[in-house]
Amino acid sequence: MNPAQTQKLPGIRMGLIGGVCLVILALIGIVEAFNERHIVAGVISMGHTLLLLTAAFVAYLTAARSRHLGFGRALGHVLLAGLIMSAMLALLVLVGRAVNLRQVFINASPGLYQILMFHQESLAAGMALLLVAGLLTAFLAGLLHVAPQRLRRVLITALLGIVVVGLLQDLLQPILGVWAPLATMSGWLFEVSGLSLAGALGLAVLVAAVTALWSRQSAAVRARIQSLAPDRQRNLKWAAILIGLAVLLVLPGVLGIFLSEVLTIIGLYVLLGLGLNIVVGFAGLLDLGYVAFFAIGSYTVAILTSPEIGAYQLSFWQALPVAVVLGTLAGALLGIPVLKMRGDYLAITTLGFGEIIRILVLSDVLRPWLGGAQGIARIPKASILGFEFSGPQEIYYLLIAGCFLVGFVSWRLRDSRLGRAWMAMREDEDVAQAMGINLVSTKLLAFATGAGFSALSGAIFATKLGSVYPHSFNVMISINILCLIIVGGMGSMPGVIVGAVALVGLPELLREFAEYRLLVYGAALVAMMLLRPEGLWPEAMRKRELHDNLNGTGQPDAPRG
């Protein structure tokens, strides 16, 4: 297919692609699963939102591709795309009602068809509504494309604002509930499930107003901050950091137990991600057995503290350094046999190492020491000066401390001789060696540092759960961590946090996603590679900072590191 042909009929092409996407979404059950919840109470459910947003996105792309044809014909193509998409869904309903599809597609239930027909009793009315919805969505998306840029941005932000707030209702409601005036607002904003209609409209207006204001004023604000004296800029920066810290510290109290639990899971993955980021992001060593060190940290703490094993019964604080040291040593030890391996070979070998550890802790032979399939329970909680890290709201502080420690160490290492050696090795191993970098010690330090961080988070994980089981340490953990690093941006530390929130935090909050987590991961990775291969928060930000410094004075400011 040559480009000229693909340009000729964008409406049909995009419509078919969009239609296939919609049918797949319907058949895998995601639409029905999402339908439990409403975005705007009584008006639109999450399932419909998903379908309409997908259709709108495709129609918008169609509009972008047929722009050169002129307004009238472009509109025709957009409407055609909308028609094709809804027609394909209509076809699905018709076929599904005539033939039993459930033998192959178990989610093709009558309930699904009800949703697709917008809960209409009669088939004709449902079909008509479906087609009208498709055409209308496409028409609006097409109009959005021709709207002036500023208006378009305001409208899209307002729409996304409603969707996001609706989705995160469970998160936002308790937060707003803390302070009485906000609680009143929250009562007005939310129904039991979803936003109230008035709340949604109010929210849209508010978001639109803020966006419009910001798009007009942001340049001026930025310029004013730029024009401040350097020490005042620094004060401003410190103030922002302190406010951020204060927010972090009061967060678990405000959010309550469930959300604090989500935060601790995110924290664990941030800790793990920062460690793997050193190995994969900085040094470019693709390590798929990273979960092994997490397991070593957990089991070390379990064995040393649990009365079930009984040999030691140390406190958490006595066991923690042992866990970290053992993890670090294991990292270096794994590093030795794989020193000469690169790329795929390294990935496969480390993958095997991860499995070895899991199978070892599962084995019956080692049961007296490692607990076998039943794991080790009754791991005591950590406590400090009478403050016990018992529930998620307390463990959270342990994780925050861990994240700060690990983040600080990574940051120091990154801007040092060692960090540069890692990055040089990532870029070109041979040349790095020819620049005087000892590959053996540099690689082993990367493996050991990453493994030490992983063992640290493993130790916290053990005391958080109070028990360890072999099945907690499967290869999916390694894959999850790798995914969040890629999505966040390879080698970028803020990227790890963004990635952990996006890939670990959001699925926890949006329970509907839980079953489709892998699907979402896959889609997110493909989308990332196409749209933002450098990640959500790439390392290049640092480059730009450096750039500004050099422009100002001709010298980079302050020692780096």
Partner 1 sequence: MAAVTIKRLVKQFGGLVAIDNLDVEVKEQSIHSIIGPNGAGKTTVFNCITGFYRPEGGDILLDDHSMVGLLPDQIVQHGIARTYQNIRLFPNLTAMENILVGLHSHLKAGYFGIVLGLPATRREEQEANDQALQLLNFVNLGGKGDLLAKNLPYGDQRRLEIGRALATRPKVLLLDEPAAGMNPKESQDLMDFIRHLRDELGITIILIEHQMRVVMGISEKVTVLDYGKKIAEGTPADVQSNPQVVEAYLGRGSSVQATRAAS
Interface residues with partner 1 (CB under 8 A) are 409, 412-413, 415-418, 420-421, 423-424, 427-428, 430-439, 445, 543, 546-547, 550, 554-556, 559-561
What residue type is assigned to position 513 of the chain? Answer: F
Nearer to partner 1, 431 or 476 (CB): 431
CA distances from 314 to 175, 282, 302, 390 (A): 39, 35, 10, 17
Nearer to partner 1, 322 or 424 (CB): 424
d(CA 253, CA 408): 25
Residue 329 has a CB neighbour count (10 Å cut-off) of 15
**Token pair 């961590």 in the structure block, residue:** 481
Nearer to partner 1, 163 or 424 (CB): 424
Nearer to partner 1, 46 or 448 (CB): 448
Structure tokens at 173: 């409601």
**Quick check: helix, strand or coil at residue 40?**
strand
CB of 435 to partner 1, least distance (A): 5
CB of 412 to partner 1, least distance (A): 5
CB of 329 to partner 1, least distance (A): 15
Structure tokens at 496: 């790890």
CB of 549 to partner 1, least distance (A): 8
CA 134 from centre of chain: 31
What residue type is assigned to position 380 of the chain? Answer: P
Residue 486 has a CB neighbour count (10 Å cut-off) of 21
Nearer to partner 1, 68 or 543 (CB): 543
**Positive or negative torsion for Cα 141, 145, 147, 152:** positive
**Residue (of 140, 1, 17, 133) closest to 78 by Cα position:** 140
383 pairs with which residues across the strands? 388
CB of 321 to partner 1, least distance (A): 15
Backbone angles phi, psi at 238, to 5 degrees: -65, -40
CA count, 13 A, side-chain hemisphere, 323: 32
CB of 557 to partner 1, least distance (A): 11
Nearer to partner 1, 111 or 321 (CB): 321
Nearer to partner 1, 204 or 286 (CB): 286
CB of 432 to partner 1, least distance (A): 7
CB of 550 to partner 1, least distance (A): 5
CB of 135 to partner 1, least distance (A): 47
Nearer to partner 1, 258 or 411 (CB): 411
Nearer to partner 1, 103 or 553 (CB): 553
What H or E segment, with its residue span, contains residue 116? helix 110-116
What residue type is assigned to position 237 of the chain? Answer: K
d(CA 263, CA 255): 9
Q: What are the DSSP E strand ranges found in 330-475?
A: 382-384, 387-389
d(CA 82, CA 59): 6
CB of 136 to partner 1, least distance (A): 47
Residues in the chain: 561
**Residue (of 465, 539, 476) closest to 507 by Cα position:** 476
Q: Are 290 and 450 in contact (CB under 8 A)?
A: yes
Nearer to partner 1, 35 or 454 (CB): 454
CB of 537 to partner 1, least distance (A): 16
How far is the first Cα of the chain from the last one, in angstroms, to the nearest whole number?
53
Give the list of residues 6+ apart from residue 537 with CB closer than 8 angstroms, or none. Answer: 488, 489, 492, 494, 495, 498
**Positive or negative torsion for Cα 272, 538, 246, 508:** negative
CA 382 from centre of chain: 29
CB of 451 to partner 1, least distance (A): 14
Nearer to partner 1, 308 or 534 (CB): 534
Nearer to partner 1, 517 or 542 (CB): 542
d(CA 63, CA 7): 12
**Quick check: helix, strand or coil at residue 165?**
helix
CB of 267 to partner 1, least distance (A): 21
45 pairs with which residues across the strands? 38
Nearer to partner 1, 216 or 412 (CB): 412
Q: Are 283 and 413 in contact (CB under 8 A)?
A: no
